[in-house]
Structure 1
């Protein structure tokens, strides 16, 4: 029986895993587990990125880290550059150079590194190369550097990843591609309603069959620190699309969480619209995905916040 490529061999239960690193960078926020509402970890193939011997560039080191803001923005991480030499230099542009990702053009930067300085540079990554056997290492931070005498040069600094950030991003991207090919999962329009005396939003989550021929069940829904997302009616077993069906719409309800109307929570949250879901194929291991929330839906949710919190 056909399994979803790249998914049946692992249970991916979180969008990202990042580890808290000591804050030695200038002007950055602290690291946080991506999809912190899930508070889970991902299983991925062992990394060799950090262990692979690559030629060093005298006077500088590079480490890949991922911050809360990177997860919220999507498509990027931070290249943490440290000047380990005795002369200053400036970085004018940065790009990820890895066989596991499409190489993007240089992103312009403007950062001056005095001896001993450490500064994070936002670094985009391209489309993941998900072909079998394609590694992510050796990974480099490609930099356009200006020396004190004005000389310009391009260097490739070995990109250390002690927390397997690049490997994890690659695994997440490839699993997302495989899942999207197997089944489409989309959030429908909102309808205001009242439940248990409180304002809520009703909607439907539509499952659309892709290249999977298996029974596909919407196994679990999760919300964010602001919004709770749940099935409109409890179902055991979970609602499932039979093998001879191409679509299934599952009614859901969105409401404020217990802390959702707290001004501090609303002001500080980086991912209010991170709505994870889990689907299963023929009752196999739950596979993780995230609902896409359109700009119009986000506006509708903020309007709902005003109504719901006014009555809190």
Structure 2
């Protein structure tokens, strides 16, 4: 979508840090000869409206500047799909100015980000209303000679009426996901149409142990499940452990990296091998 010349416009976008922070950027593109002393920023749309974010910034003529704003979650209309989505071209950004006035700035959804955030969150809300998916009873135990995080994947029926299936769950950079009793070619879990609750044993093992990968990870505990609500459509859904489990999980994975000799120190090309005692 092109940006019209000679105007002050707002372009929604995200950098690589933003999803983990639950935010997006309102990029102000000032192609006018005006100067704006900004005291607040708010993204306003029928699809979602952010809180007013205080600012103390100046936008000069010809400048492009990003303002981070919290993503509040979508206000889903109709079925939450694109055919009932409010038109993104109706969105505006309200710039509060130091003199107490408010400038209404048109939004150009150049990268289709406003649309994508809306559709993804409406899908998340639809799945969450149909079934509650949680990690339960996470704890450390031994597996193949090293510590792992074990527990349960639990499904509790909500508004969904058919058979609910989790086909696969992907791992993250620090963790590999393994269903304990499920064959590789089988779904992780199926909740039959007549069942209200179902659970299966699972474990998280260490995945990447090299410091370069671990230093770059932004969302280590967001596991993506592919969920079928009974209509044959696989929908991605992020399943996050309780925050109190994050530190124990990471500590267990780090210990497993050491025990299995996969620890790689910066500058080394091969993993460090644990020392062994003599005969």
Q: 1:184 aligns with which of 101, 119, 132?
A: 132
Distance (Å, rounded) in 2 between the aligned partners of 1:189 and 1:108? 41
Matched position secondary structure for 1:160: coil
Q: What is the CA deviation profile of residues 230-249 of structure 1, one whole-angstrom value per residue up to 9, with x for unaligned ones?
A: 21133344231111111110
- The CA RMSD measured in Å over matched residues stands at 2.3
Residues 154, 271 of structure 1: alpha-carbon distance in 2 compared, 3 angstrom cutoff? same
Asked whether the equivalents of residues 189 and 297 of structure 1 are also in contact (C-alpha less than 8 Å), the reply is no
Asked whether the equivalents of residues 221 and 231 of structure 1 are also in contact (C-alpha less than 8 Å), the reply is no
Q: What is the CA deviation profile of residues 186-218 of structure 1, one whole-angstrom value per residue up to 9, with x for unaligned ones?
A: 011222223333322111110111111111112
Distance (Å, rounded) in 2 between the aligned partners of 1:251 and 1:154? 55
Residue equivalent to 1:120: 66
Q: What is the CA deviation profile of residues 122-165 of structure 1, one whole-angstrom value per residue up to 9, with x for unaligned ones?
A: 1123342212235042111111124xxxx342111111112210
Using the size of structure 2 for normalisation, the TM-score is 0.82
Using the size of structure 1 for normalisation, the TM-score is 0.74
Structure whose residues are more often strand by fraction:
2
Q: 1:88 aligns with which of 35, 41, 44?
A: 35
1:129 and 2:52 matched: no
Q: 2:244 aligns with which of 286, 296, 312?
A: 296
Residue equivalent to 1:66: 14
Largest Rg, 1 or 2:
2
Distance (Å, rounded) in 2 between the aligned partners of 1:195 and 1:117? 57
Q: 1:211 aligns with which of 150, 159, 164?
A: 159
Asked whether the equivalents of residues 63 and 79 of structure 1 are also in contact (C-alpha less than 8 Å), the reply is yes
Residue equivalent to 2:174: 226
Matched position secondary structure for 1:190: strand
Q: 1:165 aligns with which of 106, 113, 129?
A: 113
Q: 1:253 aligns with which of 194, 203, 208?
A: 203
| Greater RCO, 1 or 2 (C-alpha within 8 Å, sep 6+) | 1
Asked whether the equivalents of residues 95 and 124 of structure 1 are also in contact (C-alpha less than 8 Å), the reply is no
Asked whether the equivalents of residues 96 and 125 of structure 1 are also in contact (C-alpha less than 8 Å), the reply is no
1:242 and 2:189 matched: no
Asked whether the equivalents of residues 96 and 124 of structure 1 are also in contact (C-alpha less than 8 Å), the reply is no
Q: Which runs of 5+ in 1 are unaligned?
A: 1-49
Asked whether the equivalents of residues 86 and 115 of structure 1 are also in contact (C-alpha less than 8 Å), the reply is yes
Distance (Å, rounded) in 1 between the aligned partners of 2:51 and 2:68? 14
Residue equivalent to 2:271: none
Aligned residues: 252
